[in-house]
């Protein structure tokens, strides 16, 4: 009884949103390309239904100066139909996979006249209610550096360098402190780097115990102060 109830609720919940969600189409927002290059405009969709055999994809193009859009590509009944009369004849190729909900097209040999808005509309019967999605194409002679890339990298590099210097400074101090402790344990005061050796002479020819720690701390403080005064 409970299982039947659970199954029924799942099925009901499954059906109701299907009728209200519709199909959602995804393309990019903006694409940049160089003159003479090729570009792949991707289009895919999300639908609660299984991909039907009658799935259709349509691409239309509206040039930057024009008022209306013209249709340049249509896929239906399992076959693609590319532009053979319009601005993209012999330059358009279908590279998508409708079975995987991919309706991408490839534009070859771009020119400045190809600047404009490309709209993809997909239908997955019976899921046909949805909004077409558009991608803007911008054709450049030379791809410009995006806003903020250099800014961010300069700021990041300088702050990273600062952080590195701070870390190295504290690491060196940590190493020096460890050498003090090691030297006082082994009772050999003279070995090590020259700077540290000369400063070790003040303190630790003593055994481990509170008085030596105090004296080591005092000599460390004197070291810091003399360094600060020297600066």
Partner 1 sequence: MNSFSASSDKMLLLLLGIVILHAAALVLLFVSTIVSAWTTGPTSSSDLWNNCSTTDVGYHCEAANTGEWIQAVQALMILSIIFSFISLFLFFCQLFTLQKGGRFFVTGVFQILASLFVMSGAVIYTVMSPNWVPPSEAFGWAYILAWVAFPLALISGLIYVILRKRE
User: Which stretches of the chain bind partner 1, using CB under 8 A?
Assistant: 144-152, 154-155, 158-159, 221, 225, 228-229, 231
Q: Which is nearer to partner 1, 131 or 173 (CB)?
A: 173
For partner 1, which is the closer residue by CB, 7 or 150? Answer: 150
Backbone angles phi, psi at 38, to 5 degrees: -105, 155
Of 222, 17, 30, which is closest to residue 138 (Cα–Cα)? 30
In a 3-state reduction of DSSP, which class is residue 68? coil
- Rounded to the nearest whole angstrom, what is the least distance from the CB of residue 142 to partner 1 in the complex? 11
CB of 193 to partner 1, least distance (A): 24
DSSP H helical ranges for the chain = 2-21, 149-186, 194-200, 210-230
Minimum distance from CB of 31 to partner 1 (Å)? 16
Q: Which is nearer to partner 1, 2 or 147 (CB)?
A: 147
The residue (of 99 and 152) whose beta carbon lies closer to partner 1 is 152
Give the phi and the psi of residue 98 in degrees, each rounded to 5.
-60, -30
- Going by C-alpha positions, the residue among 56, 119, 67, 110 that lies closest to residue 87 is 110
Taking the complex as a whole, the smallest distance from the CB of residue 152 to partner 1 amounts, in Å, to: 8
């Amino acid at each position: 009884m409970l299982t039947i109830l659970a199954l029924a609720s799942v099925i009901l919940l499954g059906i109701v949103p299907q009728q209200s969600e519709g199909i959602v189409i995804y393309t990019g927002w903006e694409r940049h390309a160089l003159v003479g290059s090729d570009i792949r405009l991707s289009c895919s969709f999300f639908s609660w239904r299984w991909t039907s055999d009658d799935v259709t994809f349509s691409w239309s193009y509206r040039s930057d100066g024009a008022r209306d859009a013209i249709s340049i590509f249509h896929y239906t009944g399992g076959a693609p139909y590319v532009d053979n009369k319009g601005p993209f004849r012999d330059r358009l190729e279908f590279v998508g996979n409708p079975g995987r909900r991919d309706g991408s097209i490839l534009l070859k040999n771009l020119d400045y006249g190809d600047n404009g808005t490309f709209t993809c509309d997909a239908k997955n019967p019976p899921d046909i209610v949805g909004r077409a999605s558009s991608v803007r194409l911008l054709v450049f002679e030379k791809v410009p550096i995006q806003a903020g890339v250099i800014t961010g990298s300069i700021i990041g590099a300088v702050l990273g360098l600062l952080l590195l210097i701070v870390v190295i400074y504290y690491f060196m101090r940590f190493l020096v402190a460890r050498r003090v402790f090691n030297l006082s344990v082994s009772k050999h005061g003279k070995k090590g780097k020259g700077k540290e050796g000369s400063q070790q002479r003040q303190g630790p020819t003593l055994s481990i115990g509170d008085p030596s720690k105090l004296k080591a701390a005092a000599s460390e403080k004197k070291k810091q102060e003399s360094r600060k005064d020297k600066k």
